[in-house]
Structures are given as C-alpha cells and as structure tokens.
C-alpha cells in the first residue's frame, strides 16, 4: 500500500477521486430553541460585518420586534460585508504567493541616487559586471568624461582611454586588485610617510621594486582619498600560495604570477596584472567578462528620470552599466528581457529602472500584495454587482492597482515574475505604481477564465495537477484519496514503469481523472503565469524537433516548453512537441484548447458547484460543517434555490442565515 501512495508524489495526494464530502458529517441535532432577537442580531453582524451591533441597531430591531430579510440585505450592502467576503475568498483560494515567488535580490538597486552614492546592482550581480561581489562603480568618475580623472596613471594607457565600446557599452574606467586573491599593503605606512601619495612616489622612494609597478594599486579609502598599495598574490591562501613564478614583459616589469609547479591542479594557475581591458567569454565580442583577481569599475552617469519607485522625480546618479535601457545585447542580440540582464554589462535596468527593484524589497512586496489581492477584487466585483457567482470562475474581467498595472504595462520584475500581460497593453489601465489602493477594471484576453487564470492562482498552484487538485477541493468539495482496496501488481510488472500516470498501475486510480482535467490549463505554463499563445508556441515546433533529433536539448534556450528528450516510445514520437500535449487523447487536446472555462461549463451541468458552495457558505457562517441530518434537510433545497436565484451569492448567504439551523441554540 505504501508503494501505491509513493507513485502519487507529483500530486502530493493519493489515488482515487471520491465523491465523499471533504467537510465531515457531524452529529444529528434534535430541535432546540431559537436564539433571542438580540443574540440573533449579534450573530448576524459579527458574521456579516465582523463587528457587534451598535446601540442604535439594537434599539431599531427591538422596536420592530424581529430581524427581517430587509435587515439582512441592508447589512450586506455595507462596505464591511465586502471586506468580509474578500477575506473569505482569500482563504478559499489560498491567495498568497509569497512562498511561490522568490526574489534572489540580484535585481535590487542600492545607493541613494545622490552624488557619491550612485544606484547600482550589488551582491552576486556585481560579480558578473565588475569582477567581485558587492562592488559598486566608481562614484568619482563621470563615465561620459572618463579621461578627466585617472586613478592609476602609472599603469593606464598613455593615450586616452575608451569610455564606451563601438556600440555604446560602458567600459571600465578604473580597477582594483581583488583581496580574495591578493594581499595589498599600504605603501605610505610602516613606516609612515605622508609624502607618498602615488605609486610613482612610492617607486621613487624605494618602497617598491620598479618591476612591480603594475601591481601598485591606487585604492580609495572611506574618506574618498586615494592611497597607494602594493598587491601581491596572497601567500596566506591555499589557492594563491603557489603563485610565485614571475612573468616579465619586454621592459622587465612583472605582468603575471604563475605557479612554480606546472603540474599543479590548484586553480588559478596564473594571475595577470589588472588593466582596463575586459576579457571576452569564448572569444565572442560583446560577451564581456572580468579577469580573475581584478575588480573593474565603470563610472557613473546622471539620468533625468528617477526610478519608478521614487516618491519624487528628478535627476539621479546611476552606475553607467545599470543606467542602460537596451532590449538586447547590441553585439550578440541576446535578450535583456530575462534574468540574464543582471549579468550582461550591455543591458542595464531599462527606462526608469523598470527591470530593477528598490533595495529594501518594497517593490517586490508591493507586487506580491497586488497579485494576492487581484482574485479577491475579481470576486468582489461579481458579488457586489449581484452577478451569477460562478462568474468568478469564468469572467474575463479583472482589475489592476498601481504595482500590478506597472508590472504588466512596463514589463517590470524581469527574471522574477514570469507573467504574460493578460491583455493588450493599451487595454490595461495605467495606474501609477504608488497607488496600491486604487483598483480599476478592464477585460482580459479570450484565454482567461476568472480567478483560475490569475497570476495568484497559477503561481500558488504551479503545476497542472496542483491546479486541478485545488479546483476540486475548493469548488467541488471533493478530494483525491485512495480506494480502500487499492493495490499494485508485482514490482516486475511493466505497468509499474509506465511514464503516463493516467495508465501507471496504482497511479491511474487518481490520474485517470487528474490528467484529462489538468489539460484545461495546458496553455498556461507550469511554475509561471505565462500564456503559451498558439501563434508563438505551436503544438509542434520544427526547430525544436530538429534540435532534439540532433541532441541539442537547449536549442539556444528557445525550447524550454517543448519535449526535447525521449524517455519512452511516445516521447520519441513527440520530440519538438509542446510538453502539455504528451500522452494526450483527442478529447484531452480539446480540453487544452477549451481552457479552464470549458471545465467550469461542464461542472455547472452536474450540480456539484452549487452543492459545494452551499456547504462552504454553511461552514463559514455556522462555524461547522453540515451534519448528516442538515444535509438531508437543507442541502438540496438551498442548492436548488441558489440555482433558481441565478447563482446570486448574497441571496445564498441570506437563505443560510435565515434558516432555523442558523438561529437555533446548540
């Protein structure tokens, strides 16, 4: 039995879908007295509004001698009621993606934007851009006038240095030796000599051997002053202790340290002198890298438009790399609209730093809140307008606030939020980023279906199977559980090795249902909120197929959504096909094209949606599941009345709180 359960790990629940309610039956209660008027009013206002009645509300009800339907309806018109229902739907939908979307902080900008503190990427991102973690650009050199200041004139080219390459990519304007590899000793100390303010003076006064001129480094102190240091491979580190052999140029100056033992396997084998020259990855022009042991800094620039999260606009200082706005590397044409932007010195943060984030994480948190709240406002709009309740599962209408509008319209959150804009950008309302409390409606594309295709749902339930599981639990009150007589054939049976879970022994109890239903989300990528548009992601991509047949499973990074490896006969015949089509029957392919809205239409024909909604509202407002006797007395009448009233959610709540069961003392 344990082995039968293990094969269902992708779903995290076991086998057979059963119709047994997931809300447990309780004991049958005998008729008891109803609560008095005052207590009934108190129950209603606490349940509907989250507060006790006011003195005036008590007096008005006592004067009438009863709580009427009109009283209930009046309570449900108050704003506190809609806030109460947003909380209800947050719990129903598990609308919290904080644990589903992680920000690795590579895109956070640090600095104030003022002179001397330019905005810059740090952490691991600066390792790719400048040669070491947590490094900033040179805040003392204007990139556009990089020859106005030379920090290491003794080791820089005699002529003018280049501020940018031929296609406008910022180049280093100064360098420092990385103390992860070099031990740097200050030359104006031990003994102290205030007259030594440059490498030339240190050399002239005999503090360094002229052959080490290139390893004299003018390093900037915390007060901004430049002080000469001699930097040599650190003999105290196991990785650099053996770098003792000196390689000289034609003038007798050391240009590199190599290992005395050429057979050593310790890395690095050599450390070259630092210069302003960048290395090329794989010899590809525009694919820049920094030499090992060197920190190469570009300068800063001034930009007239402040980052989008700044409360006030105006000119800001930005490191020249981060200030760029390109959509692609001008040399290699690799996209900057992906996570790779933070490691490509030709990309930058985009207009108004749209690809980057505030250092304190506030922009990331604001986006998470917006994604979490979107389905709640969608449900709110359906209930508030007294539309059929199941429009929350099918409507194309949704809404955006400032952070969500900017995320979609400005392509923010690159590399963190993998989201396809839900409509043409001109359709999505333009709400300023700072306006978190402003929500404006719009109509999404034809592929969308209520809360089931919001980023909140897609990120929170990252796989097709997880999306199916929660839909059944939340809206059908059904769970996936193994039958009592579930069993597996002998281990040697080939059925146990079937890759199609809908057919694998033991797994098929559950996945024979899950796989076809999951196909309704087949055009929405897993672990993302991307819509796989058929015009961009055809069912079969010839280029991906040819790459797969040639053994090129990466295919330039363009085929991540396609089958690129074969693990069985079906897989071998499906190379180059969109992954979601693997093992699909013709009927399941229709589910892919129909999307989640087709699933909801089918479920509306069974009555399960109505019955489950009745049971959830009952549990919410009575604080317990329906007992077996209450199901017999109330479930079908309430479900039928719900359908007859046009699936109006407020009408259902009204019916539940007017029942004898709600009013009795138990």
**Model confidence over 374-432: pLDDT tens digits?**
999 999 999 999 999 999 999 999 999 999 999 999 999 998 999 999 999 999 999 99
Give pLDDT, residue 548. 96
Which among 535, 555, 537, 536 is positioned nearest to 546, based on CA atoms? 555
Integer-rounded Cα Rg, in Å, for the chain is 33
Mean pLDDT of the chain: 92
According to DSSP, residue 117 is labeled B
According to DSSP, residue 602 is labeled H
Whether the predicted pLDDT of 652 surpasses 90: yes
The secondary structure element, H or E, covering residue 152 is none
The predicted model gives 315-325 an average pLDDT of 97
Give pLDDT, residue 665. 65
Q: How confident is the model at residue 222 (pLDDT cuts 50, 70, 90)?
A: confident
pTM: 0.89
Which among 272, 353, 343 is positioned nearest to 305, based on CA atoms? 353
Parallel, antiparallel, or unpaired: how do β-strands 316-319 and 216-220 relate? unpaired
Q: What angle do CA 235, 227, 277 make, to 5 degrees?
A: 70
The predicted model gives 436-447 an average pLDDT of 98
For the chain, domain boundaries: 37-77+605-663, 108-300
Parallel, antiparallel, or unpaired: how do β-strands 294-297 and 288-289 relate? unpaired
Helix (H, G, I), strand (E, B) or coil at 637: helix
The predicted model gives 206-215 an average pLDDT of 96
Structure tokens at 609: 């949606």
The secondary structure element, H or E, covering residue 370 is helix 362-384
Give pLDDT, residue 31. 53
Give pLDDT, residue 664. 85
Question: Cα(370)–Cα(230) distance, rounded to whole angstroms?
Answer: 53
Give pLDDT, residue 159. 85
User: What distance lies between CA 143 and its chain's CA centroid?
Assistant: 33
Whether the predicted pLDDT of 23 surpasses 60: no
The secondary structure element, H or E, covering residue 259 is none
Could you give the percent of the chain with pLDDT greater than 70?
95
Q: How confident is the model at residue 313 (pLDDT cuts 50, 70, 90)?
A: confident
Give pLDDT, residue 16. 35
Task: Judge if the upstream peptide bond of residue 294 is cis by omega within 30 degrees of 0.
Answer: no
Q: String of b and e for 24-58 (b: at least 16 CB within 10 Å)?
A: eeeeeeeeeeebeeeebbbbbbebbbeeebeeebb
The predicted model gives 147-156 an average pLDDT of 91
The secondary structure element, H or E, covering residue 307 is none
Whether the predicted pLDDT of 461 surpasses 50: yes
Which among 278, 290, 365, 356 is positioned nearest to 322, based on CA atoms? 356
- 312 versus 322: which is more confidently predicted? 322
Give pLDDT, residue 17. 39
Task: Judge if the upstream peptide bond of residue 191 is cis by omega within 30 degrees of 0.
Answer: yes
Whether the predicted pLDDT of 311 surpasses 90: no
Give pLDDT, residue 393. 98
Torsion 306-311-313-316 (CA) sign: negative
Q: How confident is the model at residue 24 (pLDDT cuts 50, 70, 90)?
A: very low
The predicted model gives 497-511 an average pLDDT of 91
Q: How confident is the model at residue 173 (pLDDT cuts 50, 70, 90)?
A: very high
Give pLDDT, residue 487. 83
The predicted model gives 639-659 an average pLDDT of 97
Whether the predicted pLDDT of 481 surpasses 90: no
Question: Cα(367)–Cα(44) distance, rounded to whole angstroms?
Answer: 35
């Amino acid at each position: 039995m344990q082995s039968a359960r293990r094969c269902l790990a992708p779903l995290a629940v076991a086998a057979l879908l059963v119709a047994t309610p997931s809300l447990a039956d309780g004991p049958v209660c005998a008729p008891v007295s109803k609560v008095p008027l005052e207590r009934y009013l108190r129950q209603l206002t606490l349940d509907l509004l989250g507060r006790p009645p006011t003195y005036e509300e008590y007096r008005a009800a006592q004067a009438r001698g009863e709580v009427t339907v009109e009283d209930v309806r009046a309570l449900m018109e108050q704003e506190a009621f809609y806030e109460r229902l947003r909380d209800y739907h947050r719990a129903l939908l598990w609308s919290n993606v904080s644990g589903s979307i992680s920000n690795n902080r590579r895109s956070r900008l640090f600095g104030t934007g003022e002179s001397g503190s330019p905005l810059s990427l740090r952490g691991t991102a600066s390792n790719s851009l400048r040669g070491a973690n947590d490094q900033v650009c040179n805040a003392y050199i204007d990139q556009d006038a990089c020859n106005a200041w030379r920090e290491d004139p003794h080791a820089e080219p005699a002529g003018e240095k280049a501020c940018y390459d031929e296609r406008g990519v910022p180049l280093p304007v100064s360098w420092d030796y990385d103390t992860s590899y070099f031990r740097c000793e200050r030359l104006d100390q031990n003994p102290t000599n205030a007259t030594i303010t440059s490498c030339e003076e240190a050399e002239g006064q005999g503090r360094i051997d002229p052959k080490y001129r290139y390893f004299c480094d003018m390093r900037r102190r915390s007060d901004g002053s430049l002080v000469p240091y001699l930097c040599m491979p650190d003999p105290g580190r196991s990785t650099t202790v053996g770098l003792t052999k000196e390689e000289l140029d034609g003038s007798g100056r050391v240009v590199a340290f190599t290992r005395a033992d050429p057979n050593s396997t310790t890395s690095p084998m050599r450390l070259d002198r630092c210069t302003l020259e960048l290395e090329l990855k794989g010899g590809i022009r525009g694919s820049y890298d920094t030499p090992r042991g060197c920190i190469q800094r570009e300068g800063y620039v001034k930009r007239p438009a402040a980052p989008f999260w700044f409360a006030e606009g105006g000119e800001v200082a930005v490191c020249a790399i981060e200030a760029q706005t390109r959509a692609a590397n001008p040399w290699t044409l690799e996209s900057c609209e992906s996570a790779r932007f933070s490691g490509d010195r030709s990309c930058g943060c985009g207009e108004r730093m749209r690809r980057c984030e505030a250092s304190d994480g506030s922009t990331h948190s604001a986006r998470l809140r917006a994604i979490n709240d979107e389905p709640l406002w969608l449900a709110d709009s359906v209930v508030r307008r007294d539309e059929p309740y199941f429009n929350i599962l099918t409507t194309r209408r949704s809404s955006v606030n400032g952070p969500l509008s900017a995320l979609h319209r400005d392509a923010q959150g690159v590399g963190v939020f993998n989201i396809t804009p839900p409509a043409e950008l001109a359709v999505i309302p333009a709400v300023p980023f700072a306006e978190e409390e402003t929500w404006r409606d719009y109509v999404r594309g034809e592929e969308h279906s209520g809360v089931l295709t919001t980023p909140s749902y897609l990120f929170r339930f990252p796989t097709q199977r997880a999306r199916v599981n929660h839909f059944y639990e939340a809206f059908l009150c059904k769970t996936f559980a193994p039958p009592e007589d579930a069993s597996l054939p002998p281990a040697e049976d080939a059925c146990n090795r079937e890759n199609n879970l809908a057919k694998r022994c033991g797994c098929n109890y559950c996945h024979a249902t899950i796989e076809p239903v999951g196909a309704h989300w087949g055009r929405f990528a897993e672990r993302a909120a991307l819509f796989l548009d058929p015009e961009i992601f055809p069912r079969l991509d010839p280029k991906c197929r040819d790459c797969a047949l040639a053994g090129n499973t990466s295919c330039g990074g363009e085929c991540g959504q396609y089958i690129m490896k074969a693990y069985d006969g079906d897989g071998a015949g499906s190379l180059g096909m969109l992954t979601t089509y693997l093992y699909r029957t013709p009927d399941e392919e229709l589910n892919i094209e129909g999307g989640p809205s087709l699933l909801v239409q089918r479920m509306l024909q069974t009555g399960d949606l109505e019955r489950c909604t009745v049971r959830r509202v009952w549990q919410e407002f009575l604080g317990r599941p329906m007992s077996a006797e209450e199901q017999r007395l109330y479930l079908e009448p309430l479900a039928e009345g719900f359908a007859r009233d046009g699936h109006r959610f407020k009408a259902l709540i009204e019916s539940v709180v007017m029942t004898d069961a709600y009013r009795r003392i138990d």
